[in-house]
Structure 1
Amino acid sequence: MSLSLFSFLMTAPAAMAPPAQAAMPQPAAILADTRRVAEWQLANRTNWATMPAARKSVQEVRDWQQATFWVALTELANRDSAYAKPLLDLGRAEKWQMGDLPFHADDQLIGQAWLWAAQNGEGEEAVLPIRAYFDNVLSKRPTIGLEFVPVAPGKGTSTCTDRWCWCDALFMAPPTMLRLAKATGDKRYADFVHEEWKATTDYLFDPSEQLYFRDSRFFDMRDAKGRKLFWSRGNGWVMGGLVRLLQVLDKTDPQRHYYEKLFKDMSAKLVTLQKADGYWPASLLDQDQGTPPESSGTAFFTYAFAWGVDNGLLDRATYEPAAVRGWAALGRAVQPDGMLGWVQQVGDRPDSVSAKETQFYGSGAYLLAGTAMYDLAKKRSPEADAIRKSVR
């Protein structure tokens, strides 16, 4: 055993030790845990010490790092109206603007929170800046290729990011545009989503593994044991994006089957990669004993499984236990003060994690998992079971 692995095992017993068999928690307990993480994040919006690898852009509320949390908070607000006020206050202060980059998916995520606000009292005023932003995208639609060529050696940015050339983008942009299409009745936004999603998937999806490469740099990259590198959070972004797309895509839409099949195919692979402790490893094919817990990818997969079971897309017997184990693992990652730990910091590939490090997007993923688990648990509570039995 290496010294680094020995040190990790000595410092992470709480996050590593799974219960003998996780049971579905009560809905009230799930909601209380979800509120606790939300409250910590709201109270620590400028606590940069917990985000050591964060880019300076994390201080910008419309940047993807924060936007993930604000978008997730809309789901909690749907179940607890007390969380509507911070969202509406934020949107008014930001004048419902999108990010500053005209084509970058990361700057489009916050639009999901503003569209929620439009449906919750703010009306057309919250929609107009989003519509103007995406009308510009459509009128000057980028046609650059999807190959990820860094702008300089060692840099993680590329000019291809004017399109969805990295898998994270599938969480950031498509659900925003599809929600805009639904809010306005303008089919152009949905058509754009379907065309660009398929282009990204044709390029980055590995059909033999049913997983996405983060971007083209990883096609031929392998770890020390010769395994392909599929990043947990990267694939988590995709699964979260699929959920948020399927939530608003009409059940009769001819495009829906494509996304449902992709969601089911990825789920079938991912459920086999969950570790015994309930976490997914940062590098999904690294199933070696002693891989550290990582909460952001785990939260997205828990969210997807819980939502998929609750909405009849995933087999309950297979995926509900996986969702329950994932939620239990996430609970062990929450620190005594309510901070979600074990969040891999900003990056583009599997990396080190720490119990003492978090990020807005980690809290956001946790809130998405918590609200989906809450909905699922409500239908599995003794009261719901009694109702089901009474109508048989």
Structure 2
Amino acid sequence: MNEITKIFSAAGLSLALLFACNSKMHTSTQLSGSQSEVQASAMDIGERVAKWQLEHLDNFDYLAPRYRKGTAEFRNWIQATFYIGLSRWTETVNDALLLDHINTVSKVHEYSLRSRRDRHADDHAIGQTYLWLAQQTNQSAPYLPVKKEFDRILATPSKVGLEMEEATPKVWGYESPCQDRWCWSDALFMAPRTWLKLSIVTGDPRYFEFADTEFWATVDYLFSEEYGLFYRDSRYFDSVSDNGKPVFWSRGNGWVFAALPLIIDDLPQNHPSRNRYIELYKKHAAGLQGIQNDNGYWPASLLDPEKVKTPEVSGTAFITFGLAWGVNKGILKDAKYAQSALSGWRAIEQAVQENGRVNYVQQVGKSPDPVSKEDTQLYGVGAVLLAASEMTKWEQ
């Protein structure tokens, strides 16, 4: 019996049962932009992609061999991103069976973080799901292991600089010693919200005080006021593409732009940093909105659409989620933002197969690498679920 089968058996569930209550006969929807059509499309896409991915958690043969081991690890950032999207989707549609699944799989893994890279942001991402569970179920068990790890980090915070310098000698799973802090843009999606949620569930402000300080240190280091975009890390400050353009990676920016709504939604209304997060969000939205391709996708290399000409879904879905959130919240009032979000959603719709498989997801990396139609990954599915969750609320 494989692991995912054991998990569903432990919950008294099967994949067939999980979706029997919610499944609908899929019919292709031509997205015209009306409120009802957008919402119906979002419900359809969300259901299909969640179903497909949950049915493919026990076998990753559809991925290139070099990605299978990392993808199969529940506590790694790849699955963690899927579960961040799935938890948002579960809450959006109020699906008790999906909640049961998330609860069960988290319990099977004893709500643990990976211990081999204890300070690495990627390995804090799954904590967002545990802490979300603590909020949903009013249990303390899901957050206690995270609290234990974060208490130790608070007691001995890292003082390394944020420059991305190659680790010498090589250290497993690290690009650079600076990854004991949040020295790359992806980290702002992976870790800060976990620390924020721990403050919320425990009532102890120290966790987010730490995260708030670290978050803004990274923003001050990596955010370009000139372009309204984030460098992936310090190696890209002076890097240029083959066409002589500055290198701003779509998914690297998508990580941050998706993190901001998630953080702002969780922040107390009276938190002293709240307006600062919103102002950064608006600057980033302005930088991203004007560089969308005519086909609705954001190019893998944001300022050089000729670098990678194929569609790319992970960055596009994160950005679409972020824009749709701002439009729905009334933060982005200019009609151009609603049009960009809608165009991004049309692009996502075209990338999802009839069976729910998400195509055109750039593989694990750190730069604007090539992508093919057959490429898929769990973090891309998580991004699509975030976008679908927000588009179910579309009222434009």
Distance 1:369 1:26 in 2: 12
Query: Do 1:156 and 1:348's aligned partners in 2 also have CA atoms closer than 8 Å?
Result: no
Mean Cα deviation higher: 288-297 or 219-228: 288-297
Residue identity matched to 2:310: P
Counterparts of residues 1-392 of structure 1 (less than 5 Å): 22-24=33-35, 25-52=37-64, 54=67, 56-78=69-91, 79-81=93-95, 82-100=97-115, 101-121=117-137, 123-151=139-167, 157-288=175-306, 291-315=309-333, 317-375=335-393, 377=394, 379-380=395-396
CA offset digits 1:281-339 (Å, max 9, x no partner): 00000134982100000000000011111112111512111111101100111123211
Shift of 1:368: 0.3
Distance 1:156 1:189 in 2: 24
Going from structure 1 to structure 2, the CA distance change for 1:20 and 1:84 (only over 3 Å counts) comes to closer
Distance 2:354 2:41 in 1: 16
Residue identity matched to 1:30: A
Q: Which runs of 4+ in 1 moved over 3 A?
A: 19-24, 152-156, 287-290
Distance 1:325 1:312 in 2: 18
Distance 1:55 1:261 in 2: 39
Mean Cα deviation higher: 53-62 or 196-205: 53-62
Distance 1:26 1:239 in 2: 22
Query: Do 1:175 and 1:245's aligned partners in 2 also have CA atoms closer than 8 Å?
Result: yes
Query: Do 1:76 and 1:83's aligned partners in 2 also have CA atoms closer than 8 Å?
Result: no
Going from structure 1 to structure 2, the CA distance change for 1:20 and 1:32 (only over 3 Å counts) comes to closer
Query: Do 2:248 and 2:303's aligned partners in 1 also have CA atoms closer than 8 Å?
Result: yes
Q: Which runs of 5+ in 2 are unaligned?
A: 1-29
Aligned counterpart, 1:386: none
Mean Cα deviation higher: 51-60 or 149-158: 149-158
- Number of residue pairs matched? 360
Query: Do 1:240 and 1:300's aligned partners in 2 also have CA atoms closer than 8 Å?
Result: yes
Query: Do 1:300 and 1:366's aligned partners in 2 also have CA atoms closer than 8 Å?
Result: yes
Shift of 1:206: 1.3
Residue identity matched to 2:163: E
Shift of 1:44: 0.6
Going from structure 1 to structure 2, the CA distance change for 1:202 and 1:313 (only over 3 Å counts) comes to same
Shift of 1:20: 10
TM-score norm. by structure 2 comes to 0.87
Identical pairs, percent: 41
Shift of 1:28: 3.0
Aligned counterpart, 2:15: none
Q: CA RMSD in A?
A: 2.0
Query: Do 1:299 and 1:326's aligned partners in 2 also have CA atoms closer than 8 Å?
Result: yes
Going from structure 1 to structure 2, the CA distance change for 1:231 and 1:156 (only over 3 Å counts) comes to farther
Query: Do 1:50 and 1:356's aligned partners in 2 also have CA atoms closer than 8 Å?
Result: no
Aligned counterpart, 2:9: none
Query: Do 2:81 and 2:382's aligned partners in 1 also have CA atoms closer than 8 Å?
Result: yes
Distance 2:174 2:348 in 1: 29
Query: Do 1:22 and 1:325's aligned partners in 2 also have CA atoms closer than 8 Å?
Result: no
Distance 2:114 2:226 in 1: 36
Going from structure 1 to structure 2, the CA distance change for 1:216 and 1:273 (only over 3 Å counts) comes to same
Shift of 1:23: 4.8
Mean Cα deviation higher: 198-207 or 42-51: 42-51
Q: Which runs of 5+ in 1 are unaligned?
A: 1-18, 381-392
Distance 1:153 1:361 in 2: 30
Distance 2:205 2:330 in 1: 27
Query: Tell me, what secondary structure is at the counterpart of 2:266?
Result: coil
Distance 1:23 1:309 in 2: 15
Distance 1:187 1:322 in 2: 37
Query: Tell me, what secondary structure is at the counterpart of 1:125?
Result: coil
Distance 1:200 1:57 in 2: 26
Residue identity matched to 1:302: T
CA offset digits 1:315-371 (Å, max 9, x no partner): 151211111110110011112321101000000000111111111100000000000
Distance 1:29 1:350 in 2: 29
Distance 2:131 2:199 in 1: 11
